[in-house]
C-alpha cells in the first residue's frame, strides 16, 4: 500500500513515515522545508522538496497513492493573529491543493491533521468532538474551514476521510528553534542554554501534552481501519492537565535547573484552559497513554541534548506589527 505524507520532514510526519516504512508500507512524501529537517527524512521513502500549494506537483507526486495523510502546515496558533495571510495560506490554501490533487487521483482515504485550535475557548472541559467549533485565531479558523471542505469534497467523490485532532504533541524531533510554538521544546532549549524560560501571562494556562509515539499508534489504526469514514477524533491524553508554570518546574527538575521564569504580557487570544477528551480515541482506536508527561519530557531532553541547544530562528514575517504584538517576537527576545 502506498501512502502520501505531506510535511514529512517535520515532527509528526517523519515519525509516521518511519513507522509506516517499518510496517512495510511504501511512502511518498513532500515538504517545502520551511519547518522540516533533512535528517528527519527516511531514506527509504520517495521524497520531493515541494510546496503543497503547487497543485500540479501534488497531482503528479500523489499518482498511484491510495492513502493521503496531510500534516503540512505552518502551525503557530498564537502567532497567526499577527500573520493571518501567511499562516492561513499554509493551513487552509495548501489543504485545498492537497485535497484537490487527492480527488483528481481517486485516492481511497484522506486523513487530515487538524488541531484543538478548532475548538477555541469552550465553557466546558474537556473538549469533545461534537462541540460547536468557535476558533479564536486565524490558524484555528483555517483548520476548521479545511475540515468543512474536506467533508464536502470527500463525500462527493466517495473518498473515505477522517479528521484527527491532536493537541500539544511532544517528543524527540520536535523543532526546538521555533520561537512561535512548541512550549516544552522552547523551555528545554532555553534552560540547556542556561537561560530562564519566558512565560506569557501568569503561567496558569493549562494543557495536556501528547507523546508523539502514542499519537502515531492511533494514526496507524486510522490508516488500517476503513470503518472510520467521516469521524472526527481527538488524539492525545486527557490525563495530567498541567499549567505552564508546572511544566516549567517539571523540566527544571529534570535538568536540575535553578528556575526563575521571566513573566511577560499575556499573548492575545490565547485560550486559558484547554484539554480534549480521549474517550472517542479510546473507544475507536484503543488509545492508551503509554508515555507519561515526565517520561516524554525526558525523551525530549535526551534528543535536544544530543543535537545541542541552538539559537532561535525568527523565520516568519510579522504582517501586523503593532502594540499587540509580543516583544518576544518583535524584538526577537526568546
Stretch that binds ligand NAD, among 8-16, 154-162, 283-291, 303-311 (CB under 6 A): 8-16
Q: Find out whether the peptide bond into 189 is cis, omega within 30 degrees of 0.
A: no
By the rule CB under 6 A, 284 interacts with ligand NAD: no
Instruction: Count the residues of the shown chain that bind ligand NAD, applying the rule CB under 6 A.
Output: 31
Q: b/e string for 7-44 if b means 16 or more Cβ within 10 A?
A: bbbbbbbbbbbbbbbeeebbbbbbbbeebbbeebbbee
Taking CA atoms, 70 is separated from 67, 78, 185, 328, in Å, by: 10, 21, 23, 30
Cell of 104: 483528481
Q: Any residues with CB less than 8 A from the CB of 306 and at least 6 apart, and which?
A: none
Cell of residue 265, nine digits: 504580557
Nearer to ligand NAD, 237 or 257 (CB): 237
Interacting residue with ligand NAD among 22, 23, 33, 230 (CB under 6 A):
33
Contacts of residue 130, Cβ cutoff 8 Å, sequence gap at least 6 = none
Cβ distance to ligand NAD smaller for residue 257 or 296: 296
Q: Which of 139, 144, 200, 287 is catalytic?
A: 139
- Nearest distance in Å: CB 51, ligand NAD: 4
166 binds ligand NAD (CB under 6 A): yes
Sequence-distant (6+) residues with CB within 8 A of 152 are none
The piece of 68-76, 119-127, 130-138, 266-274 that touches ligand NAD (CB under 6 A) is: 68-76
Fill in the DSSP letter of residue 260: -
- Residue in the shown chain whose Cβ atom is closest to ligand NAD: 10
What would the grid cell of residue 299 be?
A: 525523551
- Please report how close the Cβ of residue 89 comes to ligand NAD at its closest, in angstroms: 8
Q: Does 291 bind ligand NAD (CB under 6 A)?
A: no
Q: Which member of 3, 5, 9, 232 binds ligand NAD (CB under 6 A)?
A: 9
The interface region with ligand NAD, picked from 2-10, 216-224, 272-280, 294-302 by CB under 6 A, is: 2-10
Closest CA to 206 of 174, 240, 156: 240
* Residue 7 sits in the site that holds ligand NAD (CB under 6 A): yes
DSSP string, 48-107: EE--TT-HHHHHHHTTT-SEEEE------TGGGGT-HHHHHIIIIIHHHHHHHHHHHTT-
**4 Cα distance to chain centroid:** 18
For residue 35, what is its C-alpha cell?
Answer: 519547518
State yes or no: residue 168 binds ligand NAD (CB under 6 A).
yes
Whether 263 is catalytic? no
Provide the minimum distance between the beta carbon of 210 and ligand NAD in the complex, in angstroms, as a whole number: 7
Indicate whether 234 belongs to the interface with ligand NAD (CB under 6 A).
no
Task: Looking at residues 76 to 135 of the shown chain, list those that interact with ligand NAD (rule: CB under 6 A).
Answer: 90, 94, 113, 115
Of the candidate residues 5, 16, 20, 35, the single one contacting ligand NAD (CB under 6 A): 35
Could you list the active site residues?
A: 139
The residues binding ligand NAD (CB under 6 A) are 6-7, 9-13, 30-36, 51-53, 71-75, 90, 94, 113, 115, 166-169, 175
Amino acid at each position: 500500500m502506498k501512502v502520501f505524507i505531506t510535511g514529512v520532514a517535520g515532527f509528526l510526519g517523519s515519525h509516521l513515515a518511519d513507522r509506516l516504512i517499518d510496517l512495510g508500507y511504501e511512502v511518498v512524501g513532500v515538504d517545502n522545508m520551511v519547518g522540516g529537517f533533512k535528517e528527519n527524512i527516511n531514506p527509504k521513502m520517495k521524497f520531493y522538496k515541494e510546496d503543497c500549494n503547487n497543485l500540479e506537483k501534488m497531482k503528479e507526486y500523489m499518482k498511484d497513492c491510495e492513502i493521503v495523510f496531510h500534516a503540512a502546515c505552518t502551525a503557530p496558533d498564537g502567532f497567526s493573529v499577527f500573520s493571518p495571510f501567511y499562516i492561513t495560506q499554509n493551513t487552509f490554501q495548501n489543504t485545498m491543493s492537497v485535497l484537490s490533487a487527492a480527488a483528481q487521483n481517486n485516492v481511497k482515504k484522506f486523513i487530515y491533521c487538524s488541531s484543538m485550535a478548532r475548538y477555541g475557548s469552550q465553557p466546558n472541559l474537556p473538549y469533545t468532538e461534537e462541540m460547536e467549533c468557535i476558533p479564536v485565531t486565524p490558524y484555528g479558523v483555517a483548520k476548521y474551514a479545511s475540515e468543512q471542505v474536506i467533508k464536502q469534497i470527500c463525500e462527493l467523490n466517495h473518498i473515505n476521510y477522517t479528521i484527527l485532532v491532536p493537541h500539544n504533541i511532544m517528543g524527540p524531533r520536535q523543532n526546538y528553534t521555533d520561537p512561535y510554538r512548541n512550549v516544552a521544546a522552547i523551555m528545554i532549549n532555553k534552560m540547556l542554554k542556561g537561560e530562564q524560560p519566558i512565560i506569557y501571562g501568569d503561567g496558569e494556562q493549562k494543557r495536556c501534552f501528547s507523546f508523539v509515539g502514542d499519537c502515531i499508534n492511533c494514526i496507524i489504526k486510522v490508516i488500517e481501519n476503513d470503518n472510520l469514514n467521516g469521524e472526527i477524533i481527538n488524539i492525545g491524553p486527557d490525563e495530567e492537565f498541567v499549567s505552564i508554570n508546572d511544566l516549567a518546574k517539571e523540566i527544571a527538575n529534570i535538568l536540575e535547573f535553578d528556575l526563575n521564569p521571566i513573566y511577560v504580557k499575556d499573548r492575545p487570544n490565547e485560550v486559558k484552559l484547554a484539554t480534549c477528551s480521549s474517550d472517542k480515541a479510546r473507544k475507536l482506536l484503543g488509545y492508551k497513554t503509554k508515555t507519561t508527561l515526565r517520561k516524554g519530557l525526558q525523551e525530549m531532553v535526551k534528543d535536544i541534548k544530543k543535537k545541542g541547544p541552538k539559537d532561535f530562528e525568527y523565520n516568519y514575517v510579522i504582517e501586523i506589527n503593532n502594540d499587540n504584538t509580543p516583544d518576544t517576537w518583535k524584538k526577537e527576545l526568546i
